Amino acid sequence: MKMRMKIKIILSTVIFSNLFFYIKSFSLEKTYIICADKLKNWKWLKDENNQYLEVGGYWDVWDYSKENPQAVYNFKFNYFSINEDYHYINKIVHMCKNNFGMEYFIPQPANSFNTSWSLFSLNKDLFIGGNVDVSQKIFINSENIFDLVLSQQKIYYLGGKTSNKFLKSREIIDYLFNNIH
């Protein structure tokens, strides 16, 4: 009888823990949308009922050192991966332009007025261009010991001159390497 009870407890634990992780994997975070220009001016995007527009997805960190652990340069920035497609991005770009003018063509994620500049992404390798707060660290490799020589935060504009641009990770890396200050 005790063995049967132990099996029930173990089975219940396994089922509930699997259910918890299943539910957790489908739970979404939300963020608000701001419309920005290249000069880092921005305004909250609202819907037709004057409610702040939200989008579902999850926050993550783009980290160059994950792709190249032996890198002398390390770049990181936050991004919000949305659960939408290209059509949704085009829709909010048009909403931004219609509500605030043609220069406000950059939709960006923000949780509050003092959120650091972050990008939207459609997946881990496709980002919607915009202003982004990049953490830069530069190391010198001396006898397999990496010494930090520079650490700074810098805001970059990644994207087209007058329209939005989708960027792959490789394009971001190239841009950051060409613009280190």
Higher pLDDT, 66 or 46: 46
pTM exceeds 0.75 for this model: no
d(CA 176, CA 112): 26
Q: Taking the CA atoms of 62, 54, 166 and 40 in sequence, report the sign of the dihedral they define.
A: negative
Higher pLDDT, 165 or 133: 133
Q: Which pLDDT band holds residue 117 (cuts at 50, 70, 90)? A: very high
Higher pLDDT, 139 or 130: 130
Q: Which pLDDT band holds residue 162 (cuts at 50, 70, 90)? A: low
Q: Which pLDDT band holds residue 66 (cuts at 50, 70, 90)? A: low
Helix (H) or strand (E) holding 5: helix 2-26
- Please name the residue ranges forming H helices in 27-130: 64-67, 86-100
- Judge contact between 51 and 72, C-beta under 8 A: no
So what's the pLDDT on residue 83?
A: 92
19-43: average pLDDT: 74
- Judge contact between 96 and 104, C-beta under 8 A: yes
Residue 171 has pLDDT above 50, yes or no: yes
Residue 165 has pLDDT above 70, yes or no: yes
Q: Which pLDDT band holds residue 23 (cuts at 50, 70, 90)? A: very low
So what's the pLDDT on residue 52?
A: 96
- Judge contact between 120 and 32, C-beta under 8 A: no
Report the amino acid identity of residue 70.
Answer: Q
